[in-house]
Amino acid sequence: MTLLAASGLTKSYGGVRAVDGVDLEVASGEMVAMIGPNGAGKSTCFGLIGGQVSADAGKVRLDGADLDGSPARRARRGLGRTFQVAQVFASMSVSENLAVAARGRDTTLLERVGLGADAQRPAADLAYGDIKRLELALALATEPRVLLMDEPTAGMAPAERRQLMTLIAGLARETKLAVLFTEHDMDVVFGHADRILVLDRGKLIASGDPSAIRANARVREVYLGHGDGSC
Amino acid sequence: MKAILGLLAATLVAGAADAQPIKLGELNSYKVFPAFLEPYKMGMELARTEINASGGILGRPLEIVIRDDGGTPGDAVRVAEELLTREGVAALTGTFASNVGLAVSDFAKQRKTLFIAAEPLTDKIVWDNGNRYTFRLRASTYMQTAMLVPEALKAAKPRWAIVYPNYEYGQSATEAFKKLMAEKQPGVQFVAEQAPALGRIDAGAVVQAIEDAKPDAIFSSLFGPDLAKFVREGNLRGLFKNRPVINLLGGEPEYLDPLKDETPEGWIVTGYPWQSIQTPEHKRFHDAYQAKFKDYPRLGSVVGYTAIHSFAAAVKKAGSLDQEKMVDAMKGLQLSSPFGPITYRALDHQSTMGAYVGKLALKDGKGVMVDWSFADGAKFLPSDDAVMKLRPKE
Amino acid sequence: MTLAAFASYMLTGLAGASSLFLVAAGLSLIFGVTRVVNFAHGSFFMLGLYLAVTLAGVFGRTPLGFWGAVVCASLAVGAIGVVVERLILRPLYAAPELLQLLATFAVVLIVKDAALWIWGPEDLLGPRAPGLSSAVPVLGRSIPEYDLLLIALGPLVMAGLWLLLTRTRFGRLIRAATEDREMTAALGIDQARLFTLVFALGSALAGLGGALQLPREPANLSLDLSIVADAFVVVVLGGLGSLPGAFLASLLIAELKAFCIGLGFSKATLVIEFLVMAVVLVFRPHGLLGRPDPPARATEAEAGEPIPPLVWIPVALALAFPLLAGGYAVILAIDIVILALFAASLRWLIGPAGLVSFGHAAFFGLGAYAAAIAALKLGWPMAAALAAAPLVAAFGAFAFGLVAVRLSGVYLAMLSLAFAQIVWSLAFQWDALTGGSNGLVGIWPAAAVADKTRYYALVLGLAIAAWLLLGRIERGRLGYAIRAARDSQLRAEALGFDVPALRRIALVISGAVAGLAGGLFVYSKGSLSPETLAIPRSVDGLVMVLLGGLASPLGPLLGAGLFTWLQDEAARRIEFWRALVGFVILALVLFAPRGLAGLLRRPRA
Ligand SMILES: Nc1ncnc2c1ncn2[C@@H]1O[C@H](COP(=O)(O)OP(=O)(O)O)[C@@H](O)[C@H]1O
Ligand SMILES: [Mg+2]
């Protein structure tokens, strides 16, 4: 069942069309990856869905109803997200961070993302990978129905990446969470995504299951054309 | 043994000579208005040495405890508290700005302590907000304005422009001027009023606006940097050509001296022509001051000097440091000042100290007052009835 | 108004605009590159004018003498700027940004006293410019020749700076640094040298601005603060770091002032620039030509362990001591505790909420006036009047919050300053209600607390209650949410927090506490006047908060205690006490950058 649906999302910066008429859908329990070279418009796309970026055109719907207004309003409707540059509360300890996000809910998220031992440490002292983990825990603490993750595994070792994505895939299945994420590590993408969207210069150029994407000629061209297969 | 007795006797005698000093608490905004208050401080010091050289007060030496009041009423009240509680001063004096003066005056009333407000010019301190414990030395805004009104009437000009710093002093001066002129010269018109913020005059535009109103004469109560800017800009743009200008306080050395060769000749002002006052009281003061400080006195010097002598005279008259007795002694107290004899009126606690009214002129590249006459403060006060109406009942 | 009149006001306004722009340009450059909120900029202007007066006297009344004096004064001030940058600011670039503001405030105090010491108390009016000493007729009106020169000079300096910025390597570095500080650092540019050069240039421009006033206004000791406020307004109104913006803003303000005067609204000049700034900032949160702020440096983690509980024992004893000692200790303690409460309300805003206010006195003053007016005009008993103080101040904070929460950083700080100045001008002008510039007198406490020791007990009791409440809120869920909004607005919003609402709540809480302090203040003094909510009180509040340290709730108490006690003692003992206070602040800033409270914390393991 489609939970998140966006249509005709468009955003220009000056002359640059950062996002150009993007349509996408994510069903609950589904893990969808959005890939594309740097500057393709992935983060802007997330901003348009999350409300951090104001759209020139396009519509976002959550569970059939329009999702609009401030980021906070969208969040309260059940949209959780992480940012490419992880955003946590730098002046607080790890457990305080989570307490703020959970607003009194009981949670075992710290243990689940592997930060149980760091609960009392100041968030500012964490390694970047751990900050990303903490941010994920914060996003999940609001018990969202849709989770957007912008490069969730940046700064982590390959083994940690797999572990984290397995955790999220589990959560998605358990809680019927709809997940949309961007990722540069193709192993992660092909290993965990149920479906893949490919963005280039603001336009969606392909979508489908991993095997179809792997075989897609345009996708290969975009990536090889940029000369960096892992970008 | 004899030697020891002698020593003891000597100690006792010395003890009597420098008995416990009488402390007078003085607070002022030394850092905010240094141009006026540095000479003021020296005037006080001269008075103190004179008093102590002639045997002190009631046989005790006078000590002045000087404090900076920070220029704000809040700090001033704290400083006044400090003077009373820690220094145990017998009375308070000083203050410059009207808001500080009023705050300390109300504090003095609250603490039932004599306060001789030396400089604040606001009429309110003796009238609307007058109280039993506060006396004021300087000729007030009203008095000095009134002293200039006869000169304004002599000019016989129908159209006046007014410029004043936008706070109570300038506002009251303007109000008093308009009221007195309207009474004495029916039909007088006030064709422009410019009220720049204190210290921030846009002189070019103000001069132009006055010029645009085509007045026959100008009444100004500007002083300090505002006055200097207004004068230069007006001189440059020819505003003062063939127009009598009357400027409150313009002849006070504190504000006149900085003008130097820019001094606008012919302006009618209140002030202090220290170079040319030949009365014996003034000569004595001037010479003593010059000898002690190697500098000429400014108006502030006279105010500081006279304030201290006022206190000494009051205590001598009261014969005690009891507040109520000192206050009663202040009422109607007469003493001699460098400007001649003055009286603190029992009616409203205002002293009758006058001011000099004259014309500005240039002499050797410096501004001086010429053709001046002394205006006795007693003659420029409203009727007793009018004053009684203003003053709250005790 | 005739065409001729219109033209002549226009020209006067243009001359004023040039003068303003010269000062503002230097400030804009310095802020753009170094992010230093340079309070001492007005002091540099003042020094420029004093030096020019002296030098013009030495060089003699020839054109060469005059212009030589102007140029030399400007260069000398540039050199002084270098000294200040090297000795005072350089060690502070890594410190929290507001600390630099505190350091430059100390410089203001020192320069003021130095000028008094060197040049004496009398105003010094310089000579007219030889060759430009009269007026020329323009459309039948006299316009001073020197005004025409200034009118030309402003755009010339603007053009010169523009060439410098676009055509030279130095200029490109300045622009790069203005746009992205971290980037220039990463590019391996010698930042220290760049900063020094920019500071020299900016200070020299301030000195030039001052020196050029030589024929227009006397050098005097109150120029520094009045100029720096004007310059900040211009820089912020134009958009931080934007020279064309500063130029436009100077023009706007100077012309508005000239025409206000021309049209007979001279009283409006009291606040016109602040009104204009407020209106512009509400509609354009980054000024006329400014761009969104580059993301501010990540908030400092509140480092170190909490203050050890043992520290509270001497603090409690110190607070209790005056109750027993009586005398002047009580009087000073009343002032300290009231100011500490005011500072605590400001720390709550700057610290947990991350909203810097340059106009916090507005809320203190609103509380004070509310209590005074309730007591005098409405005849309310003290308890009711005291209760009105926080309520009215909270209402003021709420109203300010409606327009302010969209802004951040220096823009917000300057909007708060504008708000405070507007409230101040109301208090100043509304004679019937506020007593105008004289203020109101006769607001004394009820008989039960008339005794000073009892009044202190009341003040202390209410202050402790307010501190505990603030502490509870800070450590409670609301406090964490507010801190979260400060740490990362993005994150907080993405978690569903209504950040603008949180900021408004923070403002209202802070305003209420400041208002309570104001109410207590007015009853302790018996009187109040507009200075209760004027700029110096806002600055004092900032100084106390920063001296004490932002990280701990103990900071404001320590800061207010030290600052008030120091001023009280120094003013009593030495003539140049302002300079002494300045030096003590400098020493603390350089050696205890985390404030007094920071000294008490054990560094983090
Ligand atoms: N705030 C912004 N201002 C101007 N251009 C932007 C902004 N944000 C993104 N862009 C531009 O939009 C395009 C898409 O960027 P982004 O969404 O970050 O791409 P991705 O996340 O796929 O790397 C890029 O060309 C980028 O430079
Ligand atoms: Mg991205």
**Whether pLDDT at B104 is above 90:** yes
**Whether pLDDT at C302 is above 70:** no
Q: How far is A112 from chain C (nearest CA, A)?
A: 19
Interface of A with C in 160-219 (CB under 8 A): none
Strand-strand pairing, A16-27 and B91-94: unpaired
Give the number of B-C residue pairs with CB atoms closer than 8 Å.
198
Question: pLDDT at position C187, please?
Answer: 66
Among positive and negative, which fits the CA dihedral B320, B324, B328, B330?
A: positive
Q: How far is C405 from chain A (nearest CA, A)?
A: 15
Q: How far is C573 from chain B (nearest CA, A)?
A: 9
Contacts with B223 (C-beta within 8 Å, 6 or more apart), sequence order: B165, B248, B249, B250, B252, B255
Contact A87 C493 (CB under 8 A): no
- Ligand 1 pocket mutation, candidates A43, A201, A226, A228, criterion most atoms within 8 A of CB: A43
CA atoms of A26 and A197, how far apart (whole Å): 11
Question: pLDDT at position C602, please?
Answer: 56
Do A10 and A199 touch, CB atoms closer than 8 A?
no
Question: pLDDT at position B1, please?
Answer: 47
Mean pLDDT of B22-27: 95
Q: How far is C438 from chain B (nearest CA, A)?
A: 4
Question: pLDDT at position B14, please?
Answer: 45
Do B197 and B166 touch, CB atoms closer than 8 A?
yes
**Whether pLDDT at C270 is above 90:** no
**Whether pLDDT at C183 is above 70:** no
Q: Which residues of A touch C301 (CB under 8 A)?
A: 90-91, 122-125
Q: Which two tokens stand for residue C275?
A: 């009104």
**Whether pLDDT at C407 is above 90:** no
Question: pLDDT at position A228, please?
Answer: 45
Instruction: Report the separation in Å between the CA atom of A17 and the middle of ligand 2, taken as the mean of its atom positions.
Output: 15
Ligand nearest, relative to CA of residue A36? 1
Do B288 and B93 touch, CB atoms closer than 8 A?
no
Question: pLDDT at position A186, please?
Answer: 87
Do B91 and B113 touch, CB atoms closer than 8 A?
yes
Interface of C with A in 331-370 (CB under 8 A): none
For chain C, say whether A140 makes contact (Cβ under 8 Å). Answer: no
Q: Do chains B and A touch (3 or more CB pairs under 8 A)?
A: no
Residue A104 to residues A75, A96, A146, B61, C248, Cα–Cα distance (Å): 17, 11, 21, 74, 51
The residue that leads in pLDDT, C343 or C592, is C343
CA atoms of B196 and C399, how far apart (whole Å): 29
Structure confidence by residue, pLDDT tens digits, B159-198? 999 999 999 899 999 999 999 999 999 999 999 999 999 8
Nearest chain B residue to C254, by CA: B202
Mean pLDDT of C312-340: 90
Nearest to A91 among C302, C490, C496 (CB): C302
CA atoms of B93 and B64, how far apart (whole Å): 10
For chain A, say whether C495 makes contact (Cβ under 8 Å). Answer: yes
Q: Which residues of B touch C274 (CB under 8 A)?
A: none
Question: pLDDT at position C295, please?
Answer: 47
Instruction: Give the burial string for A113-135 (b: 16+ CB within 10 Å, else e).
Output: bbbeebeeebbbebeebbbbbbb
Mean pLDDT of A97-113: 87
SS3 per residue for C91-143: HHCCCCHHHHHHHHHHHHHHHHHHHHHHHCCCCECCCCCCCCCCEEEECCEEE
Phi/psi at C381 (5° precision): -70, 165
Q: How far is A70 from chain C (nearest CA, A)?
A: 8
Instruction: Report the separation in Å between the CA atom of C480 and the middle of ligand 2, taken as the mean of its atom positions.
Output: 29
Mean pLDDT of C14-22: 93
Phi/psi at B28 (5° precision): -160, 165
Question: pLDDT at position B189, please?
Answer: 94
CA atoms of A8 and C440, how far apart (whole Å): 64
Mean pLDDT of chain C: 89
Query: Binning pLDDT at 50, 70 and 90, where does residue C184 land?
Result: low
Strand-strand pairing, B159-163 and A146-150: unpaired
- Domain architecture of chain B: domains with CATH: 2-140+277-353 (3.40.50.2300), 142-276+355-384 (3.40.50.2300)
Q: Which two tokens stand for residue C26?
A: 């230097």
The rounded percent of chain B whose pLDDT value lies above 70 is 95
Nearest to C298 among A76, A90, A122 (CB): A90
Nearest to C484 among A80, A89, A124 (CB): A89
Q: Which residues of A touch C491 (CB under 8 A)?
A: 83, 87-89, 135, 138
Q: Which residues of A touch C476 (CB under 8 A)?
A: none
Question: pLDDT at position C293, please?
Answer: 62
Q: Which helix (H) or strand (E) holds B144?
A: helix B141-155
Q: How far is B127 from chain C (nearest CA, A)?
A: 14
**Whether pLDDT at B13 is above 50:** no
Contact C484 A88 (CB under 8 A): no
- Measured by CA distance, the residue closest to atom 2 of ligand 1 is A13
**Whether pLDDT at C14 is above 90:** yes
Mean pLDDT of A206-223: 84
* Backbone Cα Rg of chain A: 17
Mean pLDDT of B295-313: 96
Mean pLDDT of C51-55: 96
SS3 content of chain A, % helix, strand, coil (to 5): 40, 30, 35
Give the number of A-C residue pairs with CB atoms closer than 8 Å.
80
Question: pLDDT at position B18, please?
Answer: 55
Strand-strand pairing, B366-375 and B355-363: antiparallel
Mean pLDDT of B49-66: 94
Q: Which two tokens stand for residue B310?
A: 């006022």
Q: Which residues of C touch B199 (CB under 8 A)?
A: 222, 226
For chain A, say whether C298 makes contact (Cβ under 8 Å). Answer: yes
Ligand nearest, relative to CA of residue A53? 1
Query: Binning pLDDT at 50, 70 and 90, where does residue B16 land?
Result: very low
Residues with CB under 5 Å of ion ligand 2 are: A 42-43, 84
Question: pLDDT at position A159, please?
Answer: 87
For chain A, say whether C305 makes contact (Cβ under 8 Å). Answer: no
Query: Binning pLDDT at 50, 70 and 90, where does residue B379 land?
Result: very high
Lowest mean pLDDT across A92-96, C45-49, C182-186, C236-240: C182-186
The rounded percent of chain A whose pLDDT value lies above 70 is 97
Mean pLDDT of C58-66: 90
Query: Binning pLDDT at 50, 70 and 90, where does residue C605 land?
Result: very low
Structure confidence by residue, pLDDT tens digits, B225-255? 999 999 999 999 999 999 999 999 999 999 9
Name residues contacting ligand 1 (CB within 6 A).
Answer: A 13, 16, 18, 36, 38-44
Mean pLDDT of B257-276: 93
CA atoms of B300 and B306, how far apart (whole Å): 10
To 10 degrees, the CA torsion angle through B187, B190, B191, B192?
180
Contact B258 C144 (CB under 8 A): no
Question: pLDDT at position A224, please?
Answer: 62
Mean pLDDT of chain B: 91
> Residue B306: what residue type?
T
Which chains share 3+ C-beta pairs under 8 angstroms with A? C
SS3 label, residue C381: coil
Query: Binning pLDDT at 50, 70 and 90, where does residue B11 land?
Result: very low
**Whether pLDDT at A151 is above 70:** yes
Q: What does the DSSP 8-state code read for residue C89?
A: I
SS3 label, residue B336: strand
For chain A, say whether C605 makes contact (Cβ under 8 Å). Answer: no
Structure confidence by residue, pLDDT tens digits, A46-102? 999 999 999 999 999 999 899 999 999 999 999 999 999 999 999 899 999 999 999
Among positive and negative, which fits the CA dihedral C79, C80, C82, C87?
A: positive
Contact A72 C488 (CB under 8 A): no
- Measured by CA distance, the residue closest to atom 12 of ligand 1 is A18
- Ligand 1 pocket mutation, candidates A10, A11, A16, A148, criterion most atoms within 8 A of CB: A16
Nearest to A72 among C480, C486, C497 (CB): C497
Contact C496 A124 (CB under 8 A): no
